[in-house]
Every structure is written in C-alpha cells, then in structure tokens.
Structure 1
Amino acid sequence: MLDPVQLLSAYCEGAFPMGDESGRISWFRPPYRGILPIGDFHVPRRFARYLKDHPFEVRWNTAFGDVMRGCADRPETWITDTILDSYEALHRLGFAHCVEVWRGGRLVGGVYGVAIGGAFFGESMFSRETQASKVALTHLQWRLKERGYIVHDTQWTTPHLASLGGYEIPCSQYLDLLDRAIRLPVTFDERPLGAQMVFR
C-alpha cells in the first residue's frame, strides 16, 4: 500500500499514481492538465430533462470500495490491488470520497476522487446504466460548488468531459491554481480528517 502522507503530498505537487498489470506503480504529472469548471458548470438542457424524467438515488461515501471496483471492472485498468488498498485507506482517513448512483437497491454508477482543501482530484467513474456516471459527475459538481471548491482536476480531458465544459491548462498554470486551492479551509463532508496530516 502507498503511504498516505506520500500519496497526498504527491497530489499537492500535481502528481498522481497509476498501476499496471505487473503491479508496478508509476507517477504522472502531465504537461497539460484537465480541468472541469465548478462555478460556471453547465448542465445541458437535454440532460437536465433526463435527470428529471429518470430519477436515481444518489448517495455519498457509503460504498467507496464498490465504486472503485466498479471503475476497475473493465478489460484494462490501472486500478490495481495496491491502488485499491491505498485509496480505501485515504477514504478511511477522510480524504477520498465517492458519489454513488443507485436504482432499485443496485449500484449502477459512480465516481471517486481525492479532496485536499479546495481541490478535488477526480480519479475514475463507471456506469452500468445509461447516463449513470454522468448523473454522479453532475451531483459531484453541485457538491463541489456548494462546498466552495475551486479546482476539479480530471487529469486529462476526454470527449465526454469536454461535452460538460472540461478543458486543459498548462501544468504551470495548474500548479499555481492548485497551490491556492489546497490552502482553502473547505471540506467535502463533515467527517474529521485523520492523523492531523500536514503536507506543505
């Protein structure tokens, strides 16, 4: 398992880990960073109608490990056992969080990530029903805005994220923004953070 202090300190420096099939952990800090705007996040009109017509139950932090396993359930994944154990440890410490989408008592989608100060580092999402991951991401954006976050880091920008307003910025600009964000006294939920960790 990755040391929690090392892992969170890496996030504060703009780096994040990924595993591979051999079990090796590699660290990344891309030259351009994907960002999903929070303050001016826009829900497309068609999707707003979908949300109204297809109600899901949304929960927070009740099935973190299951959300990670849902994200890992694909032919190729970077979410190895080491990554899973490490982020479950961060979840127990109050730094990793998930949004869960349920229907009929079944987990059908979700997203998880790491929160430090006013920065949320989105890691992965999954969907077992049409639009379920988008529902999770939309509720996450609303939570981040409500709580006063200023950064939603998506690592890279995909066509799906671009459709929601995602874009890329140079790493130097991202690091300046990140430095401001992690100093903000905001929290994702009411759970106390563990171990009184100090990273910078």
Structure 2
Amino acid sequence: MSGIELREETLYVEREPNQLDELAIAFSEILDRIGIEHVYIAGYVSILAGRARSTEDVDVLIEPVDEPTAEELATTLDTEGYWGPAMPLTSMYEMLENGDPIWVAPTDQITPHLEVKIVDDEFDHASLSNAISAQIDGESIPIGPLELQIAYKLYLGAQKDIEDAVHLYTLFEETLSASRLETWVHRLDVDAEYDRLRDT
C-alpha cells in the first residue's frame, strides 16, 4: 500500500505522526471526550496528505457550543496542559460567540497552534456534516471532504492555496468524486480556476 491513500471515505496516512498530527490527534481526543463535533480543514489537510510546506496553525471548525460546554472545554484544556497564546482560555465562549477564532497550544508554545472557529457559512457546515476520517498511525481524526477542500482552496486563490489544491487534486484525482467536486466548484464560482487545475 502506498503511503497516502483515499479509500471509501477514509484517508490512510502511513507515516510517523509529525508535530501537527500530534496536536490534531490530542485535541480531537479532548473534543470527543466532551462531545463536540469538529473537523480539520484548510492547509493542514494538504500537509496531512503529504504536501511539504510549513504552517503555523491547524484550522479546526467546531459545532456551536453553549457557555457551560465552552467552560468545560477551557477547563479541560487547562488541566491537560494547554493555553491560549492570544487570549486566556477563559475568554473562549465570548470569543467564539463573537465569531473570533481562538488559539490553543501546548503550554509555553506559540507555534504550531490550533485555530478553533465555530462553523459559520454553508461551506463550514458542509465540511462538518460531510467530514471523512483520516487514519494516522492507528489514530483517527475527522477532516473536511477533499472535494470541498480543493474547490475552497481555488476560491481563496492565494499562491499557497492554489498549490494546496493542485497537490490534493493531483494525488487523489482517481478516487475523488468528480460530481461532488464540480458541485462545489459551481457553488464557489471557480469554474475557470478548476479548468486550469485540470489542465495542469
């Protein structure tokens, strides 16, 4: 089996977990324990799928949480040895309610950190509700569907985003759902960018 393979809605990653993976796996375990639905998206998905590039953050979307749940998460993170490099974890509910992302990192570390956001638009909700599983060294975390990740990266349009889209598309072209990918391409109005991607 190759090192990275997409089979039946699961991304299999056969390698030792790196620092980003360890951060994502540990945070996922905490969220699962509290019962908070979540999904990893954006640049981290490309890195997980073998793209060699640096990043300072791991983007994670979570379902809306009430104040007691946010407080439980903040307390659990504090107990487990995490802090908020940009603001105290005790501000979590207020920050999330305002639509602001919160940073979470192992104590005394600033990068890499998790950037945690509440699902906002239809694309966030689609990432959460259509999440697939990534298996890394026997551990499992939820990631956004690759078809949506590719289309959204084309929509963002920065150099690194285009390169992420090219990486994911080239690697998984044979196993992606073309119809789902084209649906998101149309919804995000990136048909021209997608045509260029297919020609690369």
TM-score interval, smaller chain: under 0.3
Normalised by the length of structure 2, the TM-score is 0.27
Whose helix proportion is higher, 1 or 2? 2
Higher RCO (C-alpha 8 Å, min separation 6): 1
Normalised by the length of structure 1, the TM-score is 0.27
